[in-house]
Amino acid sequence: MKPQRSVLFCRCAFARVVPDDVKNDVLKHLVHSAEPFDAVGDLCEMSARKDPTLVDLAAQGNLTVVACYPRAVKWLFSAAGAPLPTEGVEVLNMRTEDAQTICQRLSPGSSNSTSDASSPSSLSSESATSESSLSGGSA
């Protein structure tokens, strides 16, 4: 039996490279879903600080990261000393995908709820019942 999927949502607060409407719509979807998730202010900042929370997240497996480019997320975790496994991690890219597509992929029962080698957003392809903030800032 697979462990429950963990969802990490990045607000990209400092880079401001993700469209606000996409971030806000995806966050609303997560808040109203029954699935727990964690929201962080900025994954780049967490990586720069080598936040130990990233090590815990990387070790969990069955992780969906809602942020930006899969290769950037992979390297952010790696730079923080928390390399992500090549399987069991899915990255949903708010820079290139619309909110509706991301929300569909986050929905329970979605055929894309877990990553595999053929998933376009998986790391191997290189391309909260309540909300909480892991970075200590507001989300």
Sheet order of strands, 38-40 included: 38-40, 6-10, 63-67, 89-93
Residue 131 falls within a domain, yes or no?
Answer: no
Q: What are the tens digits of pLDDT across the range 41-82?
A: 999 999 999 999 999 999 988 999 999 999 999 999 999 999
H-type helices in the chain, by residue range? 20-32, 43-48, 53-60, 70-79, 99-106
Residue 11 falls within a domain, yes or no?
Answer: yes
Residue 134 falls within a domain, yes or no?
Answer: no
pTM for this model (two decimals): 0.78
- d(CA 97, CA 119) in angstroms, rounded, equals 14
Q: Minimal CA–CA distance to 27: which of 113, 103, 123, 122? A: 103
Residue 118 falls within a domain, yes or no?
Answer: yes
**How many structural domains are present in the chain?**
1
Residue 133 falls within a domain, yes or no?
Answer: no
Q: What are the tens digits of pLDDT across the range 93-107?
A: 999 999 999 999 998
Residue 132 falls within a domain, yes or no?
Answer: no
**Full domain range(s) for residue 19:** 6-125
pLDDT category of residue 25 using cuts at 50, 70 and 90? very high
